[in-house]
Amino acid sequence: MSSGPGESAVDFLIQAAPISQNITGGHYDIVSWEPRGLGQSIPAANCTNSTSPSISYHKLLVRGNGSDFEERSFAEAVQEHATIVGHECKATIAGPTDAAPHMTTKVVVQDMISILDAYAKTPEGKLVEDPMHLNYWGFSYGTIIGQTFASMHPYRINRVVLDGVVDADDYTNVKMETWLLDADVTFTSFFVYCHLAGSEACPYYIGNSAGDIFSRFERTVARLDAKTARAQSWENATLIESTLTGLKVIAFRFMYVPLGSFSDMAEVLVLLETASHNLTMESFSAMHNSVQNSTGEAFGDTNVAQVAISCSDNGNKLFNRSLEEVEPIVGKLKSQSWVGGEPLSKNLIACTGWGIDGVDRYAGPFGGRTKNPMLFVSNTRDPVTPKINGQRAATLFEGSQSLVTDGTGHTSLAVINVCALRKIGAYFQNGTMPGCDNFCDQGMGPWNVTIPGGLEKRGDWNDLQARMKALR
């Protein structure tokens, strides 16, 4: 099992092991490992002066005693930090025996081969049928690992589920064509769920419809109109822009697991609304601290290991590029999503400061005929891996199939759909593919709300999507 990039695979295993054991029917030992530089691996990819490998967007913009706010944009702040971290990492973890040069996905795949080969030689491995073949459940970046493994070693594929599918060609070549196609739809679902949950459960509830709640949100966004603020030379213009960007960053993160996070998002939107009426450095900092204390999330944390992996995997194509040079790619993301464009562009901009080359990199082609077919799993409303990614990937690997769940969140673990989990379990336990029965209806959503017939059949759904799109 694996996810990421930049996350400890062992920590992920500890969280996901119970449900994984149930789904696979107890027929597998559930195993994970730390990709190089991550988690408990040695040497670690930690090159900052802090004990934490991440930095808050809030800290990028606040100087001195916390009362001074830098007159610069989100992108400028991210790039400055990227340059600083890039220099620190170059000086500390870029040597031949350090972590940074060995963090590409191809190196991860080579380590997986070593694990399989070593296991096959053990007494336990000799009792297992085909111990050198891969059984694997990869989530998000883990689907890049899976597609790379299957493309490099197709004859060693046994049962492989790739869940929350990243487009491997897009990822490797920094095309940014599909990442956020379903992000705004995911965010828009919040207003429907909040309305159906009611005022007692959702603190952002107002009026008599999901549209009334969205109108409340529109009024807050209008007060945070950075273009007007700059045009009229408001003193807090930069603060206004940064507050709205901070909202997008934290909301984007909440959209990964709406079942547990939409309630937090409602509280954040209330805080934002209050602060937006009289936005000062003090109110911004208070809002930021409240969000961090209540949710454990800071506005825009940047993970060094994530940067190391993704930038190395794309061959450092963006290193030393100016903001003007990366704007066409950033523009693609912003055109796809109002809420996700800036948060995801942070990862791209971070690559402008990363100059450590990976010792080995796989750039494709992706696809081919594997020993056994793979299963690609997607949700209809996923903020960062739209369903078309899984459907397309299934066509690249001969005999593979896709499974789509009508659900909101990133990967099947965010949705917990009984139908989907049964089909994944049937595949792992006996190789059964979904065939034409490859769509699972919507189950219980945030606040334990069930929507009969799904969101698409609601009379207000198309109007809400149109209003969301108008914000871009």
The range of the structural domain enclosing residue 136 comes to: 9-40+103-174+366-441
Q: Evaluate whether residue 360 is within a structural domain.
A: no
pLDDT of residue 21: 85
pLDDT of residue 109: 97
Residuewise pLDDT in 10s, the chain (472 residues): 566 677 788 888 888 888 888 888 888 888 888 899 988 899 989 886 544 344 444 455 544 344 444 556 778 888 988 898 899 999 999 999 999 999 999 999 999 999 999 999 999 999 888 899 999 999 999 999 999 999 999 999 999 999 999 999 999 999 999 999 999 999 999 999 999 999 999 999 999 999 999 999 999 999 988 788 778 777 777 778 878 888 898 899 999 999 999 999 999 999 889 888 887 777 767 766 666 665 555 554 557 888 999 999 999 999 999 999 999 999 999 999 999 999 999 889 999 999 999 999 999 999 999 999 999 999 999 999 999 999 999 999 999 999 999 999 999 999 999 999 999 999 999 999 999 999 999 999 999 999 988 999 999 999 999 999 999 9
Q: Evaluate whether residue 316 is within a structural domain.
A: no
Q: How many CB atoms lie within 10 A of CB 65?
A: 6
- 3-state SS of the chain is CECCCCCCHHHHHHHHHHHHHHHCCCCCCCCCCCCCECCCCCCECCCCCCCCCEECHHHHHEECCCCEECCCCHHHHHHHHHHHHHHHHHHHCCCCCCCHHHCCHHHHHHHHHHHHHHHHCCCCHHHCCCCCCEEEEEECHHHHHHHHHHHHCHHHEEEEEEECCCCHHHHHHCCCCCCCCCHHHHHHHHHHHHHHHCCCCCCCCCCCCHHHHHHHHHHHHHHCCHHHHHHCCCCCHHHHHHHHHHHHHHHHHHCCCHHHHHHHHHHHHHHHHHHHCCCCHHHHHHHHHHHHHHHCCCCCCEEHHHHHHHHHHCCCCCCCCCHHHHHHHHHHHHHHCCCCHHHHHHHHHHHHHCCCCCCCCCCCCCCEECCCCCEEEEEEECCCCCHHHHHHHHHHEECCEEEEEEEECCCHHHHCCHHHHHHHHHHHHHCCCCCCCCEECCCCCHHHCCCCCCHHHCCCHHHHHHHHHCCC
Whole-number Cα distances in Å, 14 to 1, 10, 17, 233? 10, 6, 6, 51
Whole-number Cα distances in Å, 150 to 241, 287, 398, 435? 44, 46, 11, 21
Q: Evaluate whether residue 241 is within a structural domain.
A: no
**How many domains does the structure of the chain reveal?**
1
pLDDT of residue 64: 38
**Do the Cβ atoms of 190 and 171 come closer than 8 Å?**
no
Q: Evaluate whether residue 120 is within a structural domain.
A: yes
pLDDT of residue 219: 95
pLDDT of residue 134: 96
Q: Evaluate whether residue 392 is within a structural domain.
A: yes
Q: Evaluate whether residue 461 is within a structural domain.
A: no
Q: Evaluate whether residue 52 is within a structural domain.
A: no
CB proximity list for 431: less than 8 A, separation 6 or greater:
159, 372
pLDDT of residue 53: 44
Decide: pTM greater than 0.75. yes
Give me the chain's average pLDDT, please: 89
For residue 383, what is the domain's CATH number? 3.40.50.1820
pLDDT of residue 246: 82
Q: Evaluate whether residue 159 is within a structural domain.
A: yes
pLDDT of residue 442: 92
